[in-house]
Structures are given as C-alpha cells and as structure tokens.
Amino acid sequence: MPLATLAAVGSAFPQNYYDQEALLAALREAWSGELFNIERLERLHKNVLVGGRHLALPIEEYNALDNWGKANDAWITVAEKVGAQAVRRALESAGLGVEDVGCLIFVSVTGIATPSIDARLMNRLGLPSRVKRLPIFGLGCVAGAAGTARAADYVKAFPEEIAVLLSVELCSLTLQLKDFSIANLISSGLFGDGAAAVVVAGEERRLPGPRVVASRSVFYRDSERVMGWDISEKGFQVVLSPEVPEVVRQHLRRDVDTFLADHGLSKESITSWVAHPGGPKVLEAMQESLDLEPEALAVTWASLREVGNLSSTSVLLVLEETLRNHRPERGAKGLLLALGPGFCSELVLLEW
C-alpha cells in the first residue's frame, strides 16, 4: 500500500499574548461581585500549569462580545487570518506552493461558518479551483490526530497528490462569563488560541518526513457527556467531566497495545510520542497508563506551559516542535495520539 509523508507543519497565532497572571486579573475584574469564591479560580488556574496564552482579540475587546453572533463573527475574521498564515508557512517549509495542493481539510470546534473557512481561504490564498475541500466540525481535541490520519488516507488513494490539514481553534471566543461551573473555570485557565497546518504528501511526491504507517480510531460507547459542548443561544458551553483522566487509564494502554501488536510492534518499539496536551491530570494519566518516562512527553508538557491547550491544534504544535528540534533517528517508530469528544481516541503510527 502507498504511504503518506508528513512533509511539514506550519503554525500561526494571534498577536495578543498574555501571561497567566494578566489573564487571571482580567477574569477577576470581569467576575467581581459575581464569583464569590475567587480563591477557587486562582487555585484552578495555578493547577493547569499554563504560563500564558494567545487570545484571538485584545483582552479589552471581550466585554463587547455580548452575544454568540458577535463572538462567531470574530472567530470567522481571526480564523481566516491565522489559518492563511499557517497554510502558507507549512507549504513554504515543505518547498511547495498553493498550486501543489489537491485537498484541503479544515477542522475546528470553536466556531462555525458557511461558506466554511477553507472556502474563504480559496480566494485569500489563491488556491486552485480544483482543490477538494473537506470541512470537519465536532471532533474537538482529537481532530488534529484524526485529521492527519484522514489526510494520510486521502494521499494513499491519490499518491501523486498533496493534502493540507488546517486546524484553527479560538477557544477564548467560547468562554461563558455567566457560567461559574468548575468546568468553565478550568477552561478559562487552560485553553488558548492558534492555528496549525500539516502538509501530507503522497508517496509519488517523494518528500522527506515521517511516514504514516497506519492509523486507528477508537470510540468509547456511552461516553457522550465526558467532553464536548452544550450549544444554545449563548453559544458554546463547555462540557468537561472530571472522569477524563480515568477514561485514559481504563482504555488507552489496551488500545495502544492492540494497535501496535497488529503491526508487529510493542510499546517498547516507540521512541517518539507526539501527544495532545489535554491538561496536567490527563498527561499524568497518559504517562501512568503507558508507563512512560517523564521525558517521553517533554515536548507535550512544554507546549501546555507555553500556550495552553489549543484543542485540535495542540497535537500539531507538538508535531511541529518534534520535526524541528526532536527528530528521532531514521527508521525509528513514533506514535501521534489524541483524545476527544465522543469520547474517542485516534492513534497514528509513524516511521521517521
């Protein structure tokens, strides 16, 4: 079977970056007189171990987003801008131009648009009119890994083509200022904004990079309330169960072992782990269940500290940093993995 190559990753962020103390101060002011246990907010922000995050808008502009329509309009504007930057950077890094793109897959779970963002980028980037577009909504944090796998599936069918996966997540535009649930308070300290694009090349293009050997999707039945959104006239209201780390402990090791065994491998065969930074408790559960040394997820932990959890974009940022500064030796095996709403996981076996 033809193989797919992850030829390059490009990322882009809104220019508005704030350290965690500045963000916490803004939330204290916004919730002054309404959130009576401000110490809980401070404790939760401290516990997520995030040092700072990018925001779609300057922090003083968020108070004007008093309905979902305004927040979603901002999402469209910023998503188009940072999405275009990420695609350009990924293509440039791969030594390609827009005329090389055959398929554009777009994933997000923090806003909606029709025409979709990928359609809006056709004109902005000057993409060929023949490009096949595939917008995907709803996969959440798992979409970076799942989108990579689907792009690889595409170029295995069309080995002469180039597919680009674009993820844009602007989590700050979903924050509910009237929701004082623990899930929303955690989200206010954990999630950030940004975009990343991956160039996935068919075998006939003969581009360098890790090859996608195989992928696997795993769905966990009757787990719809573990993670996701409740969507109403107010917009996106986070659903984030404290059960997430336990789901990881119950399922992930078995799923990884089974997937690798089907390809004649074991966990010990994997020298590079490209994991989504779901949060400290999730990463601890992942390390524990997979019996990993602390340094195995060092790039993932660093991404969490530097920019927070960017939903589907985050695992692509970890992949970008791994490609740039932490490449394993040629022929080494790697595993790219993420979990998300469903509840589900996506596993992508790489050969460097």
What are the tens digits of pLDDT across the range 21-43? 999 999 998 888 787 788 889 99
The amino acid occupying position 336 is L
pLDDT at 210: 97
Q: What's the rounded mean pLDDT across residues 207-232?
A: 92
Please state the rounded mean pLDDT for residues 51-73.
95
Average pLDDT, the chain: 95
Worst-scoring range by mean pLDDT, 42-51, 182-191, 224-233, 256-265? 224-233
Q: CB of 103 within 8 A of CB of 151?
A: yes
Beta bridge partners of 230: 237
Identify the pLDDT of residue 294: 86
| Confidence band of 322 (pLDDT split at 50, 70, 90) | very high
Average pLDDT, stretch 120-127?
Answer: 97
> pTM for the full model?
0.96
Tell me the CB-side half-sphere exposure of residue 251, using CA atoms within 13 A. Answer: 20
Domains and CATH numbers, the chain: 4-205 (3.40.47.10), 211-351 (3.40.47.10)
In this prediction, residue 285 has a pLDDT band, given cuts at 50, 70 and 90, of very high
Q: Cite the active site residues.
A: 141
